[in-house]
Amino acid sequence: MIEIVSNRKGGEKARKFQEYARQHIPYYAVFDPTQKLRGEILHFALHQSSYRPLNDFWMEDIHLGLRLWEGTYEGTKATWLRWCDDRENLIPTTAESRDNEKSRADRLAEKLRELGINPDE
């Protein structure tokens, strides 16, 4: 579960902790971009019937992590919460994957042209 803090009345570290623990949600992350709760991102893991803080970004059971990323997404420059691998490498968005594949295809086409092969044929 990922919560994004928008005000101090949200109960992210009280009422919601209890509710999500009751539902057996294994991981809980609180993204606090305006630092109303004293920290931009807080990670928790369910242990028995309550949440305990995680020391890092990694969620072992699902082989994913969360981290902050400064950049532009859909035309807006900001600090974003992004999925990452165990080395904190970002998992590409759909647009990033598409752009990476296009760049790769363009490089391959250029290499073929250098070898005298027309990639369009």
43 within 8 A of 53, measured Cβ to Cβ: yes
Burial pattern 58-77, b for ≥16 Cβ within 10 A else e, equals bbeeeeebbbeeeeeeeeee
pLDDT of residue 104: 93
Average pLDDT, the chain: 87
pLDDT of residue 66: 92
Which band of pLDDT confidence, cut at 50, 70 and 90, is reported for residue 109? very high
Q: How many residues does the chain have?
A: 121
Q: How many angstroms separate the CA atoms of 26 and 20, rounded?
A: 9
pLDDT of residue 12: 65
pTM, to two decimals: 0.71
pLDDT tens per residue across span 50-77? 899 988 888 888 899 999 999 999 999 9
